[in-house]
Structure 1
Amino acid sequence: MQKIYSFLKYIIPFSVVLFFVQNYIINTVFEKSLFFYSTWSIYLFHFIITVLSYLFLLFVNKTFPDKTGFAFMGVSLIKMMAAVVFLIPLLQSDLKNQIPDVGAFFIPYFLYLLFETFFAISLINKH
C-alpha cells in the first residue's frame, strides 16, 4: 500500500504541472488552432491508464516478482493500443491539420511512459 501512495505522491504533482504547462502553451502559442481533444481529457486518459498499469505492475511484482519486466512490456503494448483507440476519432475527423493534436497527445504520452518506466525499474531492482 505504501508503494501506491509513493507513486501517487509523485504522479499527481507531475500531472498537474504538465497539465498547466501544456494548457498554457496551447492557449498562448496555439491560440488560433482548434484542437480536437481538450487538454484535460488527454491528461485524464494518461493519468488513469498510468495508475492502472502501475497497480497491475504492483500486483505482478507481489505475486510473480521475476515476471515484472515482462508485465511492464505487456502493459506498455496495451497502453499503446489504448492510445490508438483513443485517437481513432481524431484520425477519422475532418480536421485539416491533425499534427498539433497528435503532438499534444504524444508528448505527454512519452513523458508518462518515462515516469512509469522509472517506477517500474525501481520495482524490478528491489527483487
Structure 2
Amino acid sequence: MKALINFVKYLIPFSIALILAQYLIVSNVFSNTSFFYSTWSIYAFHIIVTLFSYSFLLFVNHNFPENTGFAFMGISLIKMLAAVVFLIPLLRSEMVSKIGDVAIFFIPYFLYLFFETFFAIRLINKK
C-alpha cells in the first residue's frame, strides 16, 4: 500500500502538469480546431489505466517477484488494446482528419508509459 501511495504522490503532480499544458496548448494554439475527445476525458483514461496497471504490477511484485517484468510487458499490451478500444469511436467517426485527435491522445499515452516504466524499473530493481 505504501508503494502505491508513493506512486500516486508522483502521479498527481505529473498529471496536473500535463493536463494544464495540454489544455493551454489546445485552447490557445488550436482554438479553431474541434477535437473529438476533450482533454479531461483523455487524461481520465490515462490516469485510471495507469493506476490500474501499476496496482497490478505491485500485486505481481508482492506475490511473484520474479515475474514482475513479464507482468509489465503484459499490462503494456493490455494498455495498448484499451487505447485502441478507447479510440474506436474516433476512428469510426465522420471526421475528415483524425491526425490531431490521435496526436493529442498518444503524446500523453507515451509520457504516461515512460512514467510507469520508470516506476516499474525501480520496482524490479528493488531487490
Please give the TM-score of this superposition, normalised by the length of structure 2.
0.99
Question: Corresponding residue for 1:32?
Answer: 32
Q: Give 1:18 deviation, angstroms.
A: 0.1
Cα deviation 1:33-91 (Å, max 9, x = unaligned): 10000000000000000000000000000000000000000000000000000000000
Number of residue pairs aligned between Structure 1 and Structure 2: 127
Match of 2:115 in 1: 115
| Match of residue 85 from structure 1 | 85
Distance in 1 of aligned mates of 2:121 and 2:84: 25
1:74 counterpart residue number: 74
TM superposition shift of 1:2: 1.0
Task: Give unmatched runs, 5+ long, in structure 2.
Answer: none
**Counterparts of 1:30 and 1:98 in 2: how far apart (Å)?**
14
Corresponding residue for residue 51 of structure 1: 51
- CA–CA separation in structure 1 for the residues paired with 2:117 and 2:79: 13
SS of residue in 1 equivalent to 2:95: coil
CA RMSD of aligned residues (A): 0.4
Whole-Å separation in 2 of the counterparts to 1:76 and 1:68: 12
User: Share of identical aligned residues, percent?
Assistant: 65
Distance 2:69 2:106 in 1: 23
* Aligned AA (2:89): P
Q: Secondary structure at the match of 1:43?
A: helix
Separation (CA, whole Å) in 2 of partners of 1:85 and 1:78: 10
SS in structure 2 at match of 1:83: helix
Q: Please list every run of at least 4 consecutive aligned residues from structure 1 whose deviation after the TM superposition is greater than 6 angstroms.
A: none
Instruction: Give distance in 2, aligned partners of 1:91 and 1:29.
Output: 24
* Matched residue type, 2:124: I
> Match of 1:102?
102
Could you say which residue in structure 2 is the equivalent of 1:63? 63
Q: Displacement, 1:97? A: 1.2
1:14 aligns with 2:41: no
